[in-house]
Structure 1
Amino acid sequence: MTKQIRKIGVMTSGGDAPGMNAAIRSVVRTCAFHNIECIGIYRGYEGMIEGDFKILDARSVNHIIHKGGTFLKSARSKEFRTKEGRQKAYLQLKSVGIDALVLIGGDGTFTGGMIFNQEFNFPVIGIPGTIDNDILGTNFTLGYDTALNTAVEAIDKIRDTASSHKRLFFVEVMGRDVGHIALNAGVGAGAEEILVPEEDLGLDRLLESLEKSRKTGKSSSIVVVAEGDKTGKNVFELADYVEENLEGYDVRVSVLGHMQRGGSPSCFDRVLASRMGVKAVESLMEGKSNFMVGTINNKLELYPIDKAVKGHSEIDHELLRVSDIMSI
């Protein structure tokens, strides 16, 4: 017989992402709708160990759906990586009667939740919140769409300067070891070249492509580089190499950095967060555990957390082909 869930804890962990607040709001209000008490856990697993809890009701999450970041705060916890730390967290949860957890974060968050579930048979459901979109089992993670729009807007502004001064700009975007942001933002912003970890373009081909662009009449160019790309040791050395070996361009570098994590979430991320929060709570009520809520072809599905943390989502190779055609 499935144990009745009476009190659910919700937390955010790892890097923040736009849409996390909307997801918290959804979890809290779904709990209120079903007469389940909701406890906010501040500062992720660190706050869980320290018992940094607060009761949340429907009014506690007023006016946060449009805000970036996470009002529950986030932190990385070395102590939770130890069995002793997880034991402390378990005792803190039991002391206030929390029956189950909704974890909002990325693969590190889910790995911690998966181990916690295995050790204490504690029900957990994950909501993928990371701008990198690198979680297997979902087409989109919370924050990815907003980060894309932020990157495209920034690249559009950089192009104005590039075209005014006949410059070649290398624009580095986030994404860790995957190229989803770089590829989609590059196509959306009309970049001449896109460098992603999944495809090694190589320095010679990059020079050849840029030289070809110049000969066809382009007086300025944008190269979007994923932070995990290995074409050069880093984007600055890559820019230096091109400047030394390619005449006719004034080369500049712009690293967009953490600005891509912030800002008001897009409508897409707000709606996705709202849907995922409802699905997470109602899945726990149905006795489901150790799953992540994902969206496949716009339909919400449960995906095993252990599979989600062991793999990475694949880059769209058809979009790579589109980018080659568009950059002619």
Structure 2
Amino acid sequence: MKKIAVLTSGGDAPGMNAAIRAVVRKAHYHKIDVVGVYYGYEGLYNGKFEPLDLGSVGGIIQRGGTMLYSARFPEFKEEEIQNKAIENLRNQGIDGLVVIGGDGSYRGAMALTEKGFPCVGIPGTIDNDIPGTEYTIGFDTALNTAVEAIDKIRDTATSHENTFIVEVMGRNAGDIALWTGLAAGAETVLIPEEEFEIEDIVARLERSAARGKRHSIIIVAEGVMPGHKLGKILEERTGVQIRVSVLGHMQRGGAPSARDRVLAGRLGAKAVELLLEGKGGRAVGIHNHAVVDYDLKEAYENKHKADVSLYTLSKELSI
């Protein structure tokens, strides 16, 4: 292993730059050259490669987003395009590839590994929806961004005695909604993993009003339904005006938290170690505070499971 490459794919996440930095610095520590692939798998196919030295990753650990940029490239599923990508890597003298992204990015990495080109995946997504790791890079930062926003929304909700619905991201995973709701003391949290009845939400609002509380925060994960749709339903059922805030892509931006920076450093270094050991088709993650590695296929063949105990706790604490 004389030279490796690194790319970021899918949605950006705070801490991706810290992971890139870790890959580059760890590789150079072991006298391994590093090439950055710009624009994800599209850049892999189009040959958008640039050498990355120690200075290339200086001053990026605190920056959100990804210095290598990202792009959606569904065409990478095609075998002809995968073969061209491998040809480009071989022509550059590259022996292994680190892919930072989510489950879709992992599928591409596994396809290349099965064709004989070793790849290692690093979980970079705010959704925290990658099986095999307890936390993904970017989740903690997104969580803190959402909590900070909801704390501010609650000030207004309290002042005007309003009910607010706050829609958060997460695709079909409820981790952001669940953890944010618990941290921000939301009165109701709705996640894709748990069914709910509108009547239950109405009843909770009525109980709050009966004891003199006239403001509420309802957090809904985007995978459940749009916040504005839920707002209209509740207005029709209660006759009370509902305010709706959609946090949107602000959750994907901003400087990564200390926790995400440390996680990115640990996982980036582990990814390089695996390639140096000649291991491809692996993903890195965190389990019981320890860095682990496992088969890439587990990350997209298994289904992510939210911690339902937190959902139960949230309901118990918001009576």
State the TM-score bracket (shorter-chain normalisation). over 0.9
**Corresponding residue of 2:164:** 169
Q: How is 1:144-293 mapped onto 2 (pairs within 5 angstroms)?
A: 144-229=139-224, 233-247=225-239, 249-293=240-284
**Corresponding residue of 1:6:** 2
- Partners in 1 of 2:309 and 2:141 — Cα distance? 22
Give aligned pairs, total.
319
Q: Alignment partner for residue 71 of structure 1, among 61, 64, 67?
A: 67
Q: What is the RMSD of the two structures over their aligned residues, measured on CA atoms?
A: 0.9
- So what's the TM-score if we normalise by structure 1? 0.96
Q: How is 1:304-319 mapped onto 2 (pairs within 5 angstroms)?
A: 304-319=295-310
For residues 259-312 of structure 1, the C-alpha deviation after alignment (integer angstroms, 9 at most, x for no partner) is 000000000000000001110001110111101001001100001110111123
For residues 63-114 of structure 1, the C-alpha deviation after alignment (integer angstroms, 9 at most, x for no partner) is 0000000000001113312111111111110111000000000000000111
For residues 230-252 of structure 1, the C-alpha deviation after alignment (integer angstroms, 9 at most, x for no partner) is xxx532121111112114x4311
Could you tell me whether the CA contact under 8 Å between 1:166 and 1:250 is conserved in 2? Answer: no
Amino acid at match of 1:188: A
Could you tell me whether the CA contact under 8 Å between 1:102 and 1:280 is conserved in 2? Answer: yes
Could you tell me whether the CA contact under 8 Å between 1:46 and 1:76 is conserved in 2? Answer: yes
For residues 130-158 of structure 1, the C-alpha deviation after alignment (integer angstroms, 9 at most, x for no partner) is 00000000000000000000000000011
Q: Secondary structure at the match of 2:150?
A: helix
Task: Give unmatched runs, 5+ long, in structure 2.
Answer: none
Amino acid at match of 1:318: S
Q: Secondary structure at the match of 2:164?
A: strand
Deviation at residue 9 of structure 1 after TM alignment: 0.4
- Partners in 1 of 2:105 and 2:86 — Cα distance? 16
- Partners in 2 of 1:81 and 1:205 — Cα distance? 44
Q: Does 1:129 align with 2:121?
A: no
Task: Give unmatched runs, 5+ long, in structure 1.
Answer: none
Could you tell me whether the CA contact under 8 Å between 2:282 and 2:294 is conserved in 1? Answer: yes
- Partners in 1 of 2:78 and 2:52 — Cα distance? 29
- Partners in 2 of 1:226 and 1:311 — Cα distance? 21
Q: Alignment partner for residue 111 of structure 2, among 115, 127, 133?
A: 115
**Corresponding residue of 1:61:** 57
- Partners in 1 of 2:196 and 2:211 — Cα distance? 21
Deviation at residue 171 of structure 1 after TM alignment: 0.2
Q: Secondary structure at the match of 1:139?
A: coil
- Partners in 2 of 1:234 and 1:131 — Cα distance? 19
For residues 152-181 of structure 1, the C-alpha deviation after alignment (integer angstroms, 9 at most, x for no partner) is 000001111111111100000000001000
Deviation at residue 59 of structure 1 after TM alignment: 1.3
